[in-house]
Structure 1
Amino acid sequence: MIKLMNINQRTREILPGLVVSVVVAAAATFLSEHYGAPVMLFALLLGMGLNFLSADGKCKAGIEFTARSVLRFGIALLGMRITLGQITGLGWKPVVLVMSLVVVTIFISVVAAKLLGFNKFFGMLTGGATAICGASAALALSAALPNHPQKEKATLFTVIGVSALSTVAMITYPMIAKWFDLVPQIAGVFLGATIHDVAQVVGAGYSMSTETGDTATVVKLMRVAMLLPVIVCAAMITRMQGAEDGTGQRPPLLPMFAVGFLVLACINSTGWVPAIVQTGINDLSRWFLVIAISALGMKTQLKELASVGVKPILLMIGESIFLVVLVLTILHFWF
């Protein structure tokens, strides 16, 4: 009875903030569908416009819960996008390409971040977002990395930056593929290996041809699959350096949301999951992530993001340019 009362009390505490986050996410989705801009960007901007709610007693607990727990659920559900068949279908070269570019891009990003005077975890955050799957990777890595005073600010900046760069890439990268006269399959590998977010990869790929779009989507999903080992590596680095998770405890070697990601990917690889279930879970994952980013937006203020200066912007642009040059070089000499 006491346990039930505690659950009811906790529900009443988180419900106002959760409802506000859902409403903001719905508004962001509506705007995205009608104006074509990334839904994550709209969710962040609308959330930041309501940042005063995070200081309100009625909404604060729910916003905190949404930004933390709903985020982790959304990341775990991303596993339903991946199958082993998709990864092996294109052969070993694209697999090696994706693994190499993720490792090299994150390493270079960490080095560049330290040279610019930033924490190495910021380099991992921006590098992972650039190399893996944009805003989703930024949110997943943020959840795996230790807490620090600037963590949420860095996460929000990374999501905004990678969403904007992904939109630019969707428009400009097909032009680059045509300028280099890439055949459809190679163009698909290029687009899937360089554009940040899945939706933008699909848009850019199918704007060129069906074959390019199919190849780009599979290569992109290979990059999404790299999310799990990168999260594990981030957790290992955090533990080895004795960093804490904000509660006085060392973070787990394999976070539970990463376990969920792996389990769902394995289940999806069996081929037993109906297409309608896959679509439903993918839509649910997207909704969870949009709701969570709305809550993260409400936890920050625009003036804080405006104070980051020009160096982080140059870092993210440099990472994107580096990734394009790296992929084009590998395609030229190896494919």
Structure 2
Amino acid sequence: MGVTLTRAAWLPGVAVAAGAAAVALAVSALFPAVPLLTAAVVLGILVAQLPAAQSHLRGSLAPGLALSSRRFMRIGVVLLGFKLSLVDVASLGWGVFLSTVAIVLITFGGTWLLGRVFRLPGHEPLLLATGFAICGASAIGAMSGVVRAKSSEQAHPVALVTLCGTLAIVVLPALWHPLALDNLQFGHWVGASVHDVGQVVATAQIAGSSALAVALVVKLTRVVLLAPIVAVAAVVERRRFRPNPDAAKPPLVPLFVVGFLAAILLRTFLVIPEPVLSTIDGIQTALLAMALFGLGAAVNLRRLVTTGWRALAVGLLSWALIAVLALAAVHLFS
């Protein structure tokens, strides 16, 4: 009976998250420049601002939205590994690969340091660093599960990485020709600096298929770094954790990180039929869309505007940092 009641408690929130994912898909289909996952986050943020919805989000929908934003996020991250092949990463060449790693690490460390300088509370500096350096709101969700961040600590990072990633879809193409970048250089810049995979596709596709291919390989190379960075955070959190004698420590390496790495290895060394990959991609996209709607539904824009100016400053500075570093890498290695 307890399990039945628990499942019943999950159902309303999960159903709403699934419906929101369907709406986000429709929006993305009608407006191809709007990435599906970005639409899902924005939809969650907008719903969270409706007075009539807030009591439901905190009440009957809360268990299902929490399940979506945590467990579905982890499953989606595991399946994301099937997009990655180490062969594709190796095709970049050592110069591009090492510069991409350097950009991620410098942006991660720089954003975390900015968060500390601006006195952001709790895990906000870490979550901002993860989102801006690696892969947007998906990375924030993955890191949040490892460090056990509160919903309030995720709200500003999710809103800001969504804002800056959406702005990138407009700003980077406007700078493409003034910066005298050719198509492949533009694709490299987009892949190295834009946060979410969908935002990368929306931004790079205007320069053609070759630019999009380069952008995706560079971007997915950044995604590969999600596993080691989250694993290191898990180790640090394990050492900081001071449980009571009956409590268990956080896992040394989260299971979803192991699954993510296993998926990458399977994609690299096995020939997986295209229909299977397409099915996995569809499931992964649906799960992440539901998870990101759940994360967006925890964002309080009024709080962000009135008390989140420090987080906004950190987000904008981090966005500028990664864009400048990526542009420097383009000129050095393209």
Q: Same fold (TM over 0.5)?
A: yes
Cross-structure match for 1:12:
8
Q: Which structure 2 residues correspond to residues 89-238 of structure 1 after superposition, within 5 A?
A: 89-119=91-121, 121-147=123-149, 151-238=150-237
Cα gap change, 1:243/1:104 in structure 2, threshold over 3 Å: closer, same or farther? farther
Deviations 1:145-195 (A, max 9, x none): 233xxx312323222221221122122213333222223333221111011
Please report how far the alpha carbon of residue 15 of structure 1 lies from its aligned counterpart in structure 2 after TM superposition.
1.8
Instruction: Determine whether 1:53 maps to 2:56.
Output: yes
> Who is 1:67 aligned against?
69
Superposed CA deviations along residues 88-130 of structure 1, whole A, max 9, x for unmatched, are: 1121111101111111111111111111012473222112211
1:82 match: 84
Question: How much has 1:222 moved relative to structure 2?
Answer: 0.6
Partner Cα distance (2:47, 2:76) in 1: 20
Alignment: residue pair count: 325
Q: Counterpart in 2 of 1:42?
A: 43
- Contact 1:70 1:289 survives alignment (8 Å): yes
Give the corresponding residue for 2:23.
27
Q: What is the CA distance between 1:307 and its match in structure 2?
A: 4.0
C-alpha contact 1:51 1:298 (8 A) present in aligned 2:
no
In structure 1, list runs of 5 or more residues that go unmatched.
none
Amino acid across the alignment from 1:275: E
Scaled by the length of structure 1, what TM-score is found?
Answer: 0.88
Pairwise CA distance, 1:9 = 3.8
Q: Which amino acid aligns with 2:135?
A: C
Q: Which deviates more from structure 2 when the two are superposed, residues 23-32 or residues 297-306? A: 297-306
Q: Percent identity?
A: 26
RMSD of the alignment, in Å?
A: 2.3
How far apart are residue 216 of structure 1 and its match?
Answer: 0.9
Q: 1:116 to 1:166 in 2, by over 3 A?
A: same
TM-score (norm 2): 0.88
Runs of at least 5 residues in structure 2 that lack an aligned partner in the other structure: none
| Distance apart, 1:47 and its partner CA | 4.8
* Cα gap change, 1:178 to 1:243, in 2 (>3 Å): farther
What is aligned with 2:271?
272
Q: Is the contact between residue 104 and residue 133 of structure 2 (CA under 8 Å) also seen in structure 1? A: yes
Question: Does the CA-based 8 Å contact 2:9-2:64 persist in structure 1?
Answer: yes
Q: Tell me how far 1:79 sits from its aligned partner.
A: 1.0
Distance 2:299 2:315 in 1: 20
